[in-house]
């Protein structure tokens, strides 16, 4: 009986000593990220017709481009818009059409001061069509305005 008991203890002992564990902490951190891009390339608007109703140049528009944006901030973000042209000869405005995240500020007359364009953008991604409207004030002479339009995503 003594041999049987010793043999049972030896067979059970490796199983009891083989178990073990170790643990550690792992943290995952998502940093605040933002990204914004224009889709569709450069825009050229040509004012080339008279408006019979006003006897002046007919305004024109372009809807060939769009804006895509995304961010990971817990706080709502906004997109602003501005031009680098401090003294344009012709009026130029832009509208965010049907934003999928946030609210459009409506038609924004472009200037060198950044203006709110889309507000209340929640974390995630979104986009909007861009509609540019151009017009020539009464008495304007032929010419060309060049603009670099900048869209910026930032905290509200």
pLDDT, tens digit (0-9, with 9 covering 90-100), for 40-79? 999 999 999 998 888 889 999 999 999 999 999 999 999 9
* Number of structural domains the chain divides into: 1
CA pair distance 18, 25, nearest whole angstrom? 24
CATH code of residue 116: 2.60.40
What percent of the chain has pLDDT above 70? 89
pTM score: 0.84
pLDDT, tens digit (0-9, with 9 covering 90-100), for 113-147? 999 999 999 999 999 999 999 999 888 999 999 99
14 located within any domain = no
DSSP 40-85: S---------EETTTTEEPPEEEEEEEEEEEE--SS-EEEEEEES-
Q: Do 118 and 104 contact (CB within 8 A), yes or no?
A: yes
11 located within any domain = no
From the list 131, 127, 100, the residue with the least C-alpha distance to 35 is: 127
Domain span holding position 58: 34-155
């Amino acid at each position: 009986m003594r041999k049987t008991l010793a043999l049972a203890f030896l067979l059970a002992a490796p199983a009891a000593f083989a178990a073990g564990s170790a643990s550690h902490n792992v943290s995952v951190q998502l940093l605040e990220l933002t990204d914004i891009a224009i889709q569709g390339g450069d825009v050229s608007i040509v004012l080339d017709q008279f408006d019979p109703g006003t006897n002046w140049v007919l305004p024109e528009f372009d809807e060939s481009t769009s804006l895509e944006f995304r961010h990971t901030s817990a706080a709502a973000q906004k997109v602003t818009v501005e031009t680098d042209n401090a003294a344009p000869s012709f009026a130029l405005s832009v509208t965010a059409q049907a934003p999928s995240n946030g609210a459009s500020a409506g038609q924004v007359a472009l200037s060198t001061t950044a203006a709110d364009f889309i507000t209340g953008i929640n974390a995630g991604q979104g986009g909007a069509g861009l509609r540019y409207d151009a017009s020539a004030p009464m008495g304007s002479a032929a010419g060309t305005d060049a603009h670099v339009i900048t869209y910026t995503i930032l905290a509200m």
